[in-house]
Chains A and B, each alone.
Chain A
Amino acid sequence: MADVFFIGLSLSSILLLVALGLAITYGTMGVINMAHGELVMIGAYVTVLCQTHFGLHFLLCIPVAFVVTGAVGYAIERFVVRRLYGRLLDTLLATWALAIIIQQAIRLEFGAAFAGLHIDGLGPGLQNVPIPSFFRETFLVGDFVVQPYRTFIIVLTIGLFILTWWLIFHTSFGMQLRAVSRNRGIASCCGIDDKRINAWTFAYGSALAGAAGVMLAGFKTVSPSMGTPFVIDGFLVVVMGGVGSLFGTLGSAVILGEVQGWVASLLNDVLARAIVFGVIIVVIIIRPQGLFSRRGR
C-alpha cells in the first residue's frame, strides 16, 4: 500500500516539477510557452555537459542548470515574448518555433556540426547521465523500502514549491508580479516596471524547468526531443488545477499522479494514462475554470 502511494507521490512530484515553471509563465503571465519542454531539455543537457567536460557532481548541476536555463528564459522573454504580449496565439506559434530551433541547435551542436566539429555530449544521439551511487542504494525504514532518488525529487520539488510560494506572496517582487498579472496598465501607472517584472518572472519560470531537467536526466536518456511530452503533461496539470492558482497546480499534480499510480498498480499503465485523461476531461467540463481557481481561463 505504502509503496503504491509513494510511487503516486513520486509521479506527482515530477508532474509538479515540470508544471511549476508553467504555472508561473502561463498562470501568472498568460504566456503559452510551448518551448517549456525544451527548457527542461536544456537543463538536462547542462547536466550532461557539466559532467562530461567539468566532472561536476550531479547535485551541483542543479544550481548551474537553474542559472543557465534562467538566462535562456530571460533572453527568450527579452527578444520574443515581450513583443507579443496580449497576442496569445502568436506567442504560442512563436514559442513553438523556438522549441524547434532549440532542438535543432542541440542536434547540430550549435552549428559546430557544419564545420565538422563534434562537441561531446551534444548532437542527435542519446546521452547518459549517471546518478551518484548513494541515490541507487535503497534502504529500509520499518517495512518500507526507501528509494533515495525518488525521495530526493519529492523533497526538492517541495522545496522549490515553497520557494516559489514565498517569492510570489511574501516579497515585494511577488506583489508587483501579482499586480502586473491582474492588470498590466494600472500596475505600470502605479510605477511598477512591468517589463522588468515580466522578464524576471519568465526567467524564473524557465529556471524551474532547468532544475526539472536535471532531475529527469537521472531517470531517462537525454535526447533533443525529450522535452516535448512534458510540456503537454505540464499544461494539463496547470489547466486542471486552475490557471493562476499555485495551490491549484499543487493539488492537481498530486491528484493526477496518485490516480496514475493507483490505476497503474491495480490495472495497468496503458489504462492509467487513459483514465488520467478521462479525469481531466470530466474536470474541465464540470469546472472550466479549474479545480481550485475562481478566475476563468
Chain B
Amino acid sequence: MKPHSNRAWLLVLPVVALVAFSGVIPMMMVVNYSVQDTFGNNEFFWNGLGWFRELLDPSTEFGGRFLDALWRSLLFSAICLAIQIPLGIAVALTMPRRGLALAFCLVAMALPLLIPWNVVGTIWQVFVRGDIGLLGHALNRLGLAFNYTQVPLHAWITIIAMDVWHWTSLVALLCYAGLRAIPDAYYQAARIDGASSWAVFRSIQLPKLRRVLTIAVLLRFMDSFMIYTEPFVVTGGGPGNATTFLSIDLVKIALGQFDLGKAAAMSIVYNLIILTLCWVFFATTTRGDADAAR
C-alpha cells in the first residue's frame, strides 16, 4: 500500500499549473463564449443556453449540420477501428521476433507515425490524384473512373486508406509489445497439448493482449474522432460536405465564419462526447480488473 502524503501535491503542482494555463483557461474561455452572442465590435450579451438548444435540435440549420458531422465522425471512427484493430493484431502476429529483420520492421512501421499530419495528407494527395498520382493514375488506367474530388465514396475510401496507412502500425506495435510479454512457458504448454495456432491465439494471445488493446482502441478512437489535418489537406471536407468531420466543421465555424458562440457550444458538446465514450469504454473493459485502472 502506498503511503498517504498530501505533500505529494507539491510534486504535482508544476503539471497542474502548466495544464491549467494551456487547458483550463482556454476551456473557460470557450464556456464563456458558449453562453454569449455578439454582433462584433467586442460587444457581447448573454444568450444563456440558446446555442446549446439550437445545437441539440436537429430541426434547426445549425443542429442539423452538427448532427450530420457527428454521424460522419462516428462512422469514420467505427470504420477505422473495425479495420485497424484486426489488421494491427494480424501484423503483430506475423512480425519477426529478433535480429535485423525485426529492427527493419519496427523502423519501417513507425515511420508513418512520425510524419507531420499535413504531410501525411500531402503524401496521399499526390498518391491518389488522377494526373500525377501513382494510385489514381493506375486505377484510371484500369478503367475505374476514380476521382476523390468528385465522388463522395471515393473520397471516403481515400481518407480511410490514408488513416489505415497512417495508424495501423500503432496498433501493431502495441500488440507486438503485448505479445512479447507472454512467457514462453505458455507456448510450450500449448505445444504439449497439441493446440492449433488458432487455439493458441484464441486462448493465450488474445486474452493477454487485452490491456494493450484497451490502450489501442482508446488512442485510435480519440484520434480518429478528432481528426482534422489529414482530411482537410486531401479533400478539404468535400466533395460538398461528404468528408466534413466534426473538427473540420468546428474550425469552419470558429475561424471561418467567426461564429464564436456556436463554435464554443459545439466545442463543449464535442469534447463531452469524446469524454463520455472513452469513459464508457474504459469502465466496461476494465470492470473487475481494478489493477488495470491505472
A and B: bona fide binding partners: no
> Footprint of A on B, CB under 8 Å?
none
> Footprint of B on A, CB under 8 Å?
none
